Structure 1
Amino acid sequence: MKHAATLFAKAITLLSALALMAGCASKLPPPGNTDEAPPKVEYLIGPGDMLNIMVWRNPEVSTSVPVRPDGKITTPLVEDVVATSKTPSQLAREIEKRLAKYIQEPIVTVMVTGFVGPFSQQIRVVGQAARPQTLPYRENMSLLDVMIAVGGTTDFAAGNRASIVRVHGGKQEFSVRVDDLIKAGDIKANVDMRPGDILIIPESWF
């Protein structure tokens, strides 16, 4: 009898500890304070982007080109210019320098017409999303924007056990409540995304 009472006491202690741990886990801070303005992020060109390159008064060397997988572009008179991880303005200045050998005082404008962005700024959604994929980061992007883009979750998702892994500024992991956001409409569960975030949506245990 005494042995049974001891086992019962240990079981109660274990359950209390598990409950305490669960309570602590639910209090993890959200990934970014939605009351704070997200940091300004300049768009950086990435592989797969479509670029419209216009050279003022020189339509014969103006063109539209994709950024190759190696991160470079080739335009009339200018070969193999590294475009990735540059802003459109930075790339325009680089092309101007190259064209100055052939054109007097060239003025170049670079416009991005198809957006992908560099890998370091893309949002990755893995696990039980309806359409797991990589998304280009957009300024003021939120968790709700991401869930709309991936078509919500599957029937097997444990949305309220989802997490965001943030790699910029030191690797961190935060809990998020996807089910409460997209199924219950709890706007408080919406949070700001940051460039390079990874959203992980696990499968339900049962």
Structure 2
Amino acid sequence: MAALGVLLAAAPVVRAQTPAGTPVPAPTAAVAGSDDPVGAGDKVVLRVWREPTWSDAYPVDATGFATLPRIGPMHVAGLAPRALRDSVRARLAVYLREPVVDVIVLRRVAVLGAVRKPDVLFVEPVSTVRDLIAQAGGIDEEGDPNRIEIVRDGERVRLGRWNDIQSTVAPVRSGDQIVVGRKGWFARNALAAVSSAAVAVSVLVSAFRR
């Protein structure tokens, strides 16, 4: 379970100077999320201070490249977010004086099973299991909140009862799957089973009265 906890990287605050020497605001966090390396299928969110046209989300293709503004195709797979930020900042220094750069890597996570809108989501590593299930429309009528698993690298890890799932538990790796299991047959058909039993009892009572 420890492998599924949030791995937060404390990043230093970055300050830059304008040509006139006036300090510019630094991002609230230079890098948000874990130090897990960027993977194919992720999205790199790049924010460059005072350069809105350079700030956007850039997909990482199957070969591990992302096409970034002013930089062009850059092999980003395998880089930790902080290393990626530093590399981007160094390359943009050709065009800007001491650029202030913020990089967030959105992880590709699937939410499957008994949810209303199963989907593949791009999320920050700090997103919790509850956050992701909510983005998938919540647990549907047949879902069992006490049967939630994370599938990672082919291994299933049961998270336990819903009330015991800590808000800090988050999938921080691309390719993770959150699977919400369904209730057992009796739980899903309890009303029908009770109704059928009531009908059967009524028929038997009527038969004995004859």
**Structure 1 residue 193 corresponds to structure 2 residue 188:** no
In the other structure, the counterpart of 2:148 is 162
Q: How does 1:1-206 map to 2 (within 5 A)?
A: 31-32=1-2, 38-40=6-8, 41-42=34-35, 47-54=42-49, 63-70=54-61, 71-76=65-70, 78-87=71-80, 89-95=82-88, 97-98=90-91, 106-112=97-103, 117-119=106-108, 122=109, 124-135=110-121, 136-139=123-126, 141-167=127-153, 171-174=155-158, 176-177=160-161, 181=162, 187-190=163-166, 192-196=169-173, 197-204=176-183, 205=185, 206=189
Percent identity between the two aligned chains = 19
- Gapped regions of structure 2 (runs ≥ 5): 9-33, 190-210
The 2-side partners of 1:160 and 1:92 are apart by: 39
1:38 and 1:202, CA in 2 relative to 1: closer, same or farther beyond 3 A? closer
Q: Is the 8 A contact 1:162 1:200 kept in 2?
A: yes
CA distance in 2, matches of 1:89, 1:152: 33
What RMSD over aligned residues (CA atoms) do the two structures have, in Å?
4.0
Measure the CA separation in 2 of the matches of 1:173 and 1:132. Answer: 19
On the 8 A contact 2:112/2:180 being kept in 1, the answer is yes
Contact 1:157 1:201 in 2 (8 A): yes
- Mapped partners of 1:111, 1:64: distance in 2: 9
- Would the alpha carbon gap of residues 163 and 65 (structure 1) be closer, same or farther in structure 2, given more than 3 Å must change? closer
Instruction: Return the TM-score normalized by structure 2.
Output: 0.51
Q: Does the 8 Å CA contact 1:163/1:175 hold for their aligned counterparts?
A: yes
Change (3 A) 1:108 1:88: farther
- CA distance in 1 between counterparts of 2:105 and 2:90 reads 26
What TM-score comes out, normalization by structure 1 length? 0.52
Q: Provide the rounded CA distance (Å) in 1 between the counterparts of 2:106 and 2:112.
A: 19
| Structure with the largest fraction of strand | 2
Segments ≥4 residues shifted beyond 6 Å: none
> SS at 1:160's partner residue?
strand
Aligned length: 151
| 1-structure distance, mates of 2:36, 2:106 | 7
For 1:162 and 1:79, the matched residues in 2 are separated by: 41
